Amino acid sequence: MRTRRWLWRWRNNPLKRRSDRAEAWAGLAAGLIMAVTAPLTGALASDAVAGNLRDQPGLHRTSAVLREDAPTTDGVSTVSDDPTVLTEVSWETADGRSRSGRAPVETGTPEGTRVQLWLDGRGMPHQPPPDATEVSVESGAAGGAVAVGTCFLVGSGAWVVRRRLDAGRDKDWEREWATVGPRWSKRD
């Protein structure tokens, strides 16, 4: 029964207006556009985000020495599950100069310990690049959001088309009623 009601615009009906056919075709077009463009735009966005996350030019790994004990979070409640804290370290740049600064180090690491450090193109400490899991989760989320946004955009366009058709049907109805109404109500 529901299918019959949904497909009424496609059946032959002497009362079917031109605007009903236009609305049916607009709905079909919107559905097809969503079915094709949402996966496509989602996949393109996902690939772009994954490429940006994977390709971080200028990042390279080096070894650094802790200049102080890394603080511990024993007995302290933290907001993050990240087991690192910013600690003073020293390292050598690619051109052999010695530098020092604060970098993320595992909590509780003693002074003098060698740790791995990621440096950017200027030789400053940087967060490590995301691993494969982070890349896939973030790119998947971005692709999904873009696909949903595409569906919303196309659906909004179909809604606007329907509202315009409804407005035209209302004007037609008012014009026809202005002709027929006085005869039915026996007014001059």
pLDDT tens-place string over residues 170-183: 999 999 898 888 88
**Strand pairing report for 98-106 and 114-119:** unpaired
56 close to 127: Cβ distance less than 8 angstroms: no
Instruction: Put the strands of the sheet holding 98-106 in their side by side order.
Output: 98-106, 84-92, 60-66, 114-119, 125-126
| pTM for the structure as a whole | 0.67
- Residues 24-51: pLDDT tens digits? 899 999 999 999 999 999 999 999 999 8
pLDDT of residue 124 exceeding 60: yes
Say if residues 116 and 104 touch (Cβ distance below 8 Å).
no
Contact partners, residue 145, CB within 8 Å, separation at least 6:
45
